Structure 1
Amino acid sequence: MSSVRKRSITIAGHATSISLEEPFWDALREIAVARGQSVAEVVTEIDAGRATGPDGPRGNLSSALRVHVLAYYRDPSTEPTAPSVPED
């Protein structure tokens, strides 16, 4: 089982501590590279897309990041391409 790592990311000029398991940090780095962005930029976009209520964003950011990573890798258009096998 992977341990939880806490990292600080700046969102809208404010340092925010985020706790995620290492595989999720790895996945966020992969997503950032694929998009030509930094991890902080990806996290900022995910944060901005969260549903908001009268007191601000609903749910916690760590959960939103995990759901985003899952959705990203479940989307067939974002899967790594396997080498094609020529048809006979």
Structure 2
Amino acid sequence: MDKRSLSIAGHRTSIALEPEFWAALEFMAAEKSQTMAGLIRDIDENRETANLSSAARLAVLRWYQSRAAAL
């Protein structure tokens, strides 16, 4: 697990994720021309779960599912 701290909506938060999820989030952010903080902020604003780490994992899963469906 890698723990990273980010500023989101004016406050600091920490997220612990496996390195593979961080790599996927970095790829997603680059593809959307966003910063990591911007991507995590979007995930935070649209999450359906109380846990931000779980919401980030689900965002990665859904992103890859949508890419696979487009093939």
TM-score by length of 1: 0.74
- Which amino acid in structure 2 is aligned with residue 74 of structure 1? Q
- Which amino acid in structure 2 is aligned with residue 76 of structure 1? R
Quote the residue 1:14 is aligned against. Answer: 11
Q: Identify unmatched segments of 5+ residues in structure 1.
A: 52-57, 82-88
Structure 2 counterpart SS, 1:75: helix
Structure with higher Rg: it is: 1
- Which amino acid in structure 2 is aligned with residue 8 of structure 1? S
Q: Does 1:46 align with 2:38?
A: no
Cα distance in 2 for residues equivalent to 1:24 and 1:78:
20
Q: Which runs of 4+ in 1 moved over 2 A?
A: 76-79
8 A contact 1:6–1:19 mirrored in 2: yes
Q: Residues 78, 22 of structure 1: CA spacing in aligned structure 2 closer, same or farther, 3 A cutoff? A: farther
Pairwise CA RMSD of aligned residues?
1.9
TM-score by length of 2: 0.90
1:59 aligned to which of 47, 50, 58: 50
Q: How many aligned positions are there?
A: 71
Q: Residues 14, 59 of structure 1: CA spacing in aligned structure 2 closer, same or farther, 3 A cutoff? A: same
Q: Percent identity?
A: 44
CA deviation string 1:1-25 (max 9, x = no partner): xxx0000011111110100000000
- Within-5 A mapping of 1:20-31: 20-31=17-28
Higher RCO structure, 1 or 2 (CA under 8 Å, sep 6+): 2
